[in-house]
C-alpha cells in the first residue's frame, strides 16, 4: 500500500514538474514575443506583464513537490548530521509532520480564498480582466502536490525507509 501511494505521488510530482517546465517555456515565449513586438513592430500584447506573473507563480507552486522529492529544497543539516540514525529518523518524522501540518493549513486557506474569489467573481485589474480564481488554481494544486509528497516522505520515514 505504501509503495503504491509513493509511486502515485512520484508520478503526480513529475507531472507537476513537467507542467512547471512547460510554463517556464511559455513564460520565456511570452516575454520574447513582447520584446520583439515592442522593439520591431511597435506592438504590445498588453498581457505580458500580467500573465508572466501568473505563469511564474504557477511554475513555482507546481514544481514544489518534485523539488522536495529530489531533495532540492534547502535543508539545515548541522544538527541532523551529528545525530545517530535513530535520532535522524525521529527528527525527520517531526520535521515532516510539522511541514505537513503547515502546508495543509496553507492548502485549506488557499482553497477557501480561491472559492471566495470565484463566488465573488473577482477579476484582475489588468487589461485581461482574468477571473482571479483561475490564477489561484496552480497554488492550490501545487500545495496539494507538495502536501502529498511530504505525506509520502513521512510515511516512508515512519516505516524506516528513506
pLDDT in tens, 68-123: 998 888 777 788 788 888 888 998 999 999 999 999 999 999 999 999 999 999 99
C-alpha 26: how far from chain center = 17
Q: Is the pLDDT of residue 21 over 80?
A: yes
Predicted local distance difference test score (pLDDT) of residue 127: 87
Predicted local distance difference test score (pLDDT) of residue 4: 92
The CA-atom distances, in angstroms, between 152 and each of 28, 38, 85, 118 are: 33, 47, 20, 31
Residue 25's pLDDT band, with cuts at 50, 70 and 90, is very high
Instruction: List helix spans (H) across 41-162.
Output: 48-69, 85-119, 132-159
Predicted local distance difference test score (pLDDT) of residue 82: 86
Predicted local distance difference test score (pLDDT) of residue 161: 76
Predicted local distance difference test score (pLDDT) of residue 141: 97
Residue 26's pLDDT band, with cuts at 50, 70 and 90, is very high
Exposure string for 48-57, b = 16+ CB within 10 A, e = fewer: bebbbebbeb
Q: Is the pLDDT of residue 155 over 80?
A: yes
Predicted local distance difference test score (pLDDT) of residue 19: 97
Predicted local distance difference test score (pLDDT) of residue 152: 95
Q: pLDDT averaged over the chain? A: 92
The CA-atom distances, in angstroms, between 35 and each of 28, 47, 53, 126 are: 10, 12, 16, 19
**Mean per-residue pLDDT for 46-66?**
94
Q: Which of 115, 144, 145 is nearest to 132 (CA)?
A: 115
The CA-based diameter of the chain, rounded to the nearest angstrom, is: 64
What is d(CA 161, CA 138) in angstroms, rounded to the nearest whole number?
30
Amino acid at each position: 500500500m505504501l509503495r503504491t501511494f509513493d509511486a502515485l505521488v512520484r508520478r503526480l510530482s513529475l507531472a507537476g514538474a513537467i507542467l512547471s517546465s512547460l510554463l517556464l517555456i511559455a513564460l520565456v515565449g511570452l516575454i520574447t514575443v513582447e520584446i520583439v513586438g515592442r522593439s520591431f513592430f511597435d506592438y504590445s500584447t498588453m498581457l505580458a506583464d500580467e500573465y508572466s506573473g501568473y505563469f511564474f507563480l504557477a511554475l513555482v507552486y507546481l514544481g514544489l513537490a518534485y523539488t522536495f522529492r529530489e531533495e532540492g529544497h534547502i535543508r539545515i543539516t548541522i544538527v541532523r548530521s551529528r545525530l545517530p540514525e535513530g535520532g535522524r529518523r525521529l527528527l525527520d518524522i517531526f520535521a515532516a509532520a510539522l511541514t505537513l501540518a503547515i502546508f495543509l493549513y496553507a492548502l485549506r486557506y488557499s482553497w477557501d480564498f480561491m472559492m471566495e474569489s470565484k463566488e465573488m467573481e473577482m477579476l484582475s485589474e489588468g487589461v485581461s480582466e482574468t477571473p482571479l480564481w483561475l490564477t489561484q488554481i496552480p497554488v492550490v494544486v501545487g500545495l496539494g502536490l507538495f502536501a502529498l509528497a511530504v505525506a509520502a516522505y513521512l510515511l516512508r520515514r515512519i516505516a524506516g525507509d528513506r
